[in-house]
Chains A and B, each alone.
Chain A
Amino acid sequence: MGKTIVEKIISAHTGKEVSAGDFVVADVDVVLAQDGTGPLAVRQIEKMGFDTAALPEKTVLFLDHAAPSPKKELSNDHITLRNFARKTGVQVSDIGDGVCHQVIPEKYLNPGEILIGADSHTCTGGALGAFATGMGSTDVGVGIAMGKTWLRVPETFLFRITGEFQKGVYPKDLILHIIGTIGADGATYKAMEFAGPAIKAMEMTDRMTLSNMAVEAGAKCGLIASDAVTKTFLVERGRGDKFVSITADEDAVYEKVFDIDVSGLKPTISFPHKVDNTRTIDSPDCAGVKIDQVFIGTCTNGRIKDLRIAAGMLKGRKRHPDTRLIVTPASREIYGQALEEGVLKIFNDFGASINTPGCGACVGVHQGALGDGERCLATQNRNFQGRMGNTKGFIYLASPAVAAATAIEGVIADPRKYL
């Protein structure tokens, strides 16, 4: 019987052949925690009596959720993480370096590896053909100290993606469409595997958008087979030697299979307060919805391609006077590229506020909290009530192109006329 990607990767980390449903203790390769979850992980490690890290070179503590820190309590949490790193030799990704889920693929994660992270969007790493999953601080504390975790091998839902995206339609629209179709708990506990010709043709940046949002359907991971695109991504970052081919067997057993042709997709928007509450841009519900704040950034859509798409539409224009635009590149690498290419100048000339690479406004800590009754259209992954710092705010999720069109018009807008 053939194996799925997740069965293959977990088998390779336990020294035995495993199948969906098995419980195992597996070796991990990369471990991440961030400034919201890391301090608790450090305290749990101390409670367990450990004072060393099993994988110091591949354990990374990210100062990204509150970066730079807006409050003394959060500055003290940063001190906790810095001190732990000094003591154990684990890595610190400092303020301005970027969102954990962007920096991990850029610098640390390779195909076939297991990454556990104390952040739900750790599943982003699945785009490289790695098993990457989010857990809590205690699980990740154990991973940091021992280099191991316990896992139940998940069943897999296969998404076979065909067709070509129409102008103005992007992988973000695809993943919103998928979640809108199967529901915010439609893949709870399962592995999602994205395959098919439209995935093969997709750049790494877009694959990361898909994998990033697997958790928004409840999934444990969002996997994509490694291939020439993966290899190029690694070669460009000096890790070409780390490439291995990770694919599912032809006769792998899937719990469900979904066939989706992207040719028919339209720009798609998630309405408040649930990710699966989706509409297409031509829905009457989208007409004339006034937007106070547009946010382009995050681990979902804050990469250079996203910024280029938005900047291409905004060039030579001014923002709508009633709508502010916040731009937060996902990492220092991306910030540097955007700076060199003049992309940041376009945003600045347009009237945007450009923030330090990191999670920014998405987590509701700082850099863009909503006022009472305000509406934000964001390229992030989550629109729960209260997410952006105010239960009386309303969050709409969309692609960077919809975001740019909306910043121009001040209402939810169709990007296709600007492309």
Chain B
Amino acid sequence: MILQGNSWKFGDDISTDHIAPGRLFHLRSNLPELAKHVLVDAREDFAPNVKKGDFVVAGSNFGLGSSREHAPTIIKIAGVSAVIAKSFARIFFRNCVNIGLPAIIADTDKIDEGDKLEVELSAGVINNVTKGIKLTFSPLPDVMTRILADGGLVEHIKKNQGFNL
């Protein structure tokens, strides 16, 4: 499967408070509504303008902070096809796999705002169409690949009637 879209560029240390702020806590059981504010405290122009298939591209330690799974979930609901960052915070990374949102570790200095990207997950390649360069990334550990391939942890458990890792 090839994911296609344009890049939205973010900096280092984008926290779950930037993605899904505590002041919007009351929208957590209304995820489509919360998704209208996704990443609002990092970039106000993102949520109103993001297109289906686009990529969130960031620096290091993306998703640090809270365990709130609502953060990656509303990124997915907003139509983002993958998050690409130099590094991720642990709980956020695991949550991405569990909800079926690809989280890719790559050298994002080679991607600028608005670059057109094509990502081949199984091949581990990001094709920066705008710049005419290809970036590679390492595949996920087997356990995570299996969960992601099943469409997330809920689907994995349903399909296998438990863990099958």
Contact = CB atoms under 8 A, between A and B. Distances in A.
Nearest to A117: B67
A365 B61 contact: no
B112 interface: no
A122 B154 CA distance: 22
Classify chain B: how many residues form its interface, as a range. Answer: 35 or more
A119 to B, nearest CB: 5
Interface stretch (A35-43, A159-167, A204-212, A407-415): A35-43
B158 A49 contact: yes
Interface stretch (A1-9, A70-78, A259-267, A289-297): A70-78
B72 to A, nearest CB: 8
Interface in A357-372: 363-365, 369
A382 B22 CA distance: 12
B141 A152 contact: yes
Interface of B: 13, 15, 17-18, 21-23, 25-30, 41, 60-61, 64-70, 73, 87, 89-91, 94-95, 98-99, 141-143, 152-154, 157-158, 162-163, 165
Contacts of B17: 364, 384-387
A188 interface: yes
A184 B15 CA distance: 11
Interface in A37-85: 37, 39-40, 44, 47-49, 65-66, 71, 73-74, 76-77, 80
Contact of A136 (B25, B61, B95, B162): B95
A233 interface: no
Contacts of A258: none
Nearest to A118: B67
B37 to A, nearest CB: 11
Contacts of A152: 141, 143
A13 interface: no
27 contacts: A25-B163, A36-B25, A44-B154, A47-B154, A48-B158, A73-B26, A73-B30, A118-B67, A120-B67, A122-B67, A135-B91, A138-B69, A139-B153, A150-B163, A150-B165, A152-B143, A184-B13, A185-B87, A188-B87, A215-B91, A218-B90, A363-B25, A364-B17, A385-B18, A386-B21, A389-B21, A391-B21
Contacts of B89: 185, 188, 218
B13 A274 contact: yes
B95 to A, nearest CB: 4
A385 B18 CA distance: 7
Given A25-B165, A364-B21, A391 B41 contact: yes
Interface residues of A, number: 56
A70 to B, nearest CB: 8
Contacts of A76: 29
A3 B157 CA distance: 31
B25 A66 contact: yes
Contact of B65 (A66, A71, A120): A120
Nearest to A47: B154
A254 interface: no
Nearest to A49: B158
Contacts of A135: 67, 91, 94-95
A134 B91 CA distance: 7
A389 B22 contact: yes
Given A142-B157, A184-B64, 4 more contacts: A37-B69, A66-B26, A138-B153, A387-B22
Closest 7 CB pairs of A and B: A364-B22, A136-B69, A73-B26, A136-B95, A185-B61, A384-B15, A138-B98
Contacts of A375: none
Given A136-B98, A138-B153, A185-B60, A386 B163 contact: no
A137 to B, nearest CB: 5
A399 B144 CA distance: 39
A148 interface: yes
Q: Could you say which of B15, B22, B68, B153 has the most chain A C-beta atoms within 10 Å of its C-beta?
A: B22
Contacts of B70: 40
